[in-house]
Amino acid sequence: MGRLSFSPSKTLRPSFSLCFFNIIFFLFSSAVAFNLSTVSFDENYSPLFGERNLIQSPDGLNIRLLLNAYTGSGFISSSMYQYGFFSAKIKLPSDHTAGVVVAFYTSNGAVFEKNHDELDFEFLGNVEGQPWRFQTNLYGNGSTNTGREERYFLWFDPSKEFHRYSILWTAKNIIFYVDDVPIREVVPSEEMGGDFPSKPMSLYATIWDASNWATNGGKNGVNYKYAPFTSEFKDFALEGCSVEPIKESPDAVCFEKAGFLESRDYAVITPKRRTAMRKFRRQYMFYSYCYDKLRYPVPPPECVLVPMEQERFQETGMLKFGGSTRKQIRNSRIRHRKRPRVSTGSDQA
């Protein structure tokens, strides 16, 4: 999981005033809810660590993960999967959560220690009164030296109610979803090679103390006066091909299931969903490795540089300072309109 440390300016905080309601309405109305079958915890997951801090509801459908001064906690899927759709509704801890990280991710590091794959949602706590932020990341074939982090705000308070977070992983693409809004897609390319995750992975969920990096570059650590910190999970959805990676050839076993995944509604970013994704990224993404020229003078091969996104970022990959996210978008559009129009292929991007 990522360890990208920086301190975003207060000017980057999203506004939750009435002026954003039209954007929020568009985001939600652009995506029809997925038709998902939920699964029970007992049949599909098991405790990973901190078992005393893992509290299960009597019906086996809801799980609470706690972090206190003694330990965090986590769970893992009972099987490994060659491609899949991994999803749950999650509610994050409230109030002062600086230094706290809640992670929902896939990995095979326990089996392939030197060349593991990973897909991450990491939710980063904050000081009281400041919003949660989160990042997505991926590794393939042990490519941990090439961080592929993107960081975002949310258009809602994730500690007030449950929202669905999902990871789709197929041979054709990876899509991260918040509710039914796609926020990031990664498409493999020949140049990307083994950096695209390809080996069977398990699903993990954890809560833990990341005081050394999670909030303002480690300046604000966990204050256990506010413990226990509680993250809740429910309505699990898990679709994929269960395999024994050491005993079986995943490609041979999972051919039919892979076709099923690729035919599902969530595997396709429709034009409406793609528009919603672009709006989300323009409004709420505040860091992208693709625009971080100090780390990557030449962007990694999977990066698709969007001109209206690119001009909003500094060489560090962070948003330019000097105003709110919304103001920077408005100024960016003004500059774009003033620029002479030149008909090129990139205009259609």
Look at the chain and count its residues. 349
Q: Which of 51, 118, 149, 256 is catalytic?
A: 118
118 is an active site residue: yes
Residue 106 phi/psi, 5-degree rounding, is -110, 145
237 DSSP β-pair partners: 87
Q: 230: which 2 tokens?
A: 């509680």
DSSP per residue, 102-123: EEEEEE-TTT-SSS--EEEEEE
Q: Are 151 and 287 in contact (CB under 8 A)?
A: yes
Q: Are 276 and 26 in contact (CB under 8 A)?
A: yes
Task: Find the helix packing angle between 271-284 and 325-338, rounded to 10°.
Answer: 110
Q: How far is CA 322 from CA 38, 243, 313, 327, in A?
A: 45, 51, 12, 9
Cβ burial, residue 326 (10 Å; 0-12/13-18/19+): middle
Provide the edge-to-edge strand list for the sheet that holds 118-124. Answer: 45-49, 73-77, 202-209, 100-107, 118-124, 133-139, 150-152, 285-292, 316-318
Beta strands at 181-186 and 174-178: parallel, antiparallel or unpaired: antiparallel
Containing 167, the helix (H) or strand (E) segment is strand 163-169
Q: Which of 51, 113, 122, 161 is catalytic?
A: 122
Task: Find the helix packing angle between 21-29 and 271-284, rounded to 10°.
Answer: 150
B/e letters for 106-136, b = 16+ CB within 10 Å, e = fewer, are bbbbeebeeebbbbbbbbbbbeeebebbbbb
51 is an active site residue: no
Residues carrying an active site annotation: 118, 122
